[in-house]
Amino acid sequence: MHPYPLKGSKGASLPPRPTLVFLIALFGLYVCYLSFNQIRMESKHVEENGAQEQDEHVCTRPYVPSEELPYVHFPKPKGYSRAECSCNPVRFFVIVSMQRSGSGWFETLLNSHPNISSNGEIFNRVDRRQNISSIVQTLDKLYDLDWLTSAAKNECTAAFGFKWMLNQGFMDHHDDILSYLNKKGVSVIFLFRKNTLRRLISVLANNYDRDAKQLNGTHKSHVHSEEEAEILAKFKPELDVSTLVSNIRDVEKYMGDCLDSFNTTRRMILYYEDIIRNRNVLEQNSFGCPNEVPIDYGLP
């Protein structure tokens, strides 16, 4: 027997020294990594809060008269960032009109401005106007500037809106729509046509051309040249004289009911004939809540 017998070790043996050093170093790196991430997240949170506070500080004091403050907005789209234009105030508008009343031409005039976006007839799709919920959802998306069309200038737009025809659900839910427009601070531009007889003839001509497709086998709701206008002018509609006066009266009443139902909105009332005769008519009109009455055409 060996003079100095070794006693068996109790429990598990310790790992070799190099392995132990490696594990300690790895644990230290892990602790440092967690600490670094926590510091970075706290710094980012502070920066975001500071930027948000700065934005709010700047954006709540736009250079506009105090009476205009309810009608300026600072949207934050979900689909993109307004970047350096995030503090530029945006005004919301809606063009309320009827078919064949010059609304397409008027919208083209607005969109010729680099900072105005009018996005067409968004409620020509029935699913967007099935009920007031779908209407509000559509309006919220548009006025959040998340409505992307060829007309949208997006980041630096100063006025954002669309065109809404009376027969596209506008009068079906007028109380709820009125409340929404006033709450949202939307300016309403009513664009009608004084000569309802000419409008009726234009409707008939447009319906005829939809089937006949006179312009090189295509249908165009709006002409863009004198030649196209001459082609469409060759159509001579046949009017039902027995119902003509009643139809005109119904249209005028419809226009009057619309103006009465939305007389508490911030609005401007324009007529196609006035704009044609005087291009400065927009400068001569201002938004307000006048008590206009429908024009009396002296019909028997």
Residue 58 confidence (pLDDT) above 60: no
Structure confidence at residue 196 (pLDDT)? 93
Residue keyed to tokens 């005039």: 109
- What mean pLDDT comes out for the span 153-167? 91
Structure confidence at residue 50 (pLDDT)? 46
| Angstrom distance (rounded) from CA 273 to CA 171 | 24
| Angstrom distance (rounded) from CA 229 to CA 223 | 6
Q: pLDDT, tens digit, for every residue of 109-147?
A: 999 999 999 999 999 999 999 999 999 999 999 999 999
Structure confidence at residue 235 (pLDDT)? 81
Residue 31 confidence (pLDDT) above 60: yes
Q: How far, in whole angstroms, is CA 44 from its chain's centroid?
A: 32
More confident call, 149 vs 97: 97
Mean pLDDT across the chain, nearest whole number?
A: 82
Listed in sequence order, the DSSP H helices in 155-195 are 174-184
Which range of 197-201, 240-244, 257-261 scores highest in mean pLDDT? It is 257-261
Contact 155, 85 (CB under 8 A): yes
> What's the pLDDT band for 81 if we cut at 50, 70, 90?
confident
| Angstrom distance (rounded) from CA 178 to CA 137 | 15
Structure confidence at residue 43 (pLDDT)? 59
Which range of 30-39, 80-89, 101-110, 150-159 scores highest in mean pLDDT? It is 101-110
Contact 219, 235 (CB under 8 A): no
> What's the pLDDT band for 23 if we cut at 50, 70, 90?
confident
Residue 157 confidence (pLDDT) above 80: yes
Within 13 Å and on the Cβ side, how many CA atoms surround 119? 24
| Angstrom distance (rounded) from CA 200 to CA 196 | 6
Structure confidence at residue 290 (pLDDT)? 43
Biggest CA-to-CA distance, the chain: 138
Structure confidence at residue 180 (pLDDT)? 98
| Angstrom distance (rounded) from CA 58 to CA 88 | 10
- What mean pLDDT comes out for the span 228-241? 83
Structure tokens at 293: 């009455």
> What's the pLDDT band for 42 if we cut at 50, 70, 90?
low
- What mean pLDDT comes out for the span 186-213? 90
Residue 55 confidence (pLDDT) above 70: no
Q: Would you say the pTM of this structure is higher than 0.95?
A: no
**How many C-beta neighbours within 10 Å does residue 161 have?**
26
Residue 53 confidence (pLDDT) above 60: no
Structure confidence at residue 293 (pLDDT)? 39
Contact 271, 192 (CB under 8 A): yes
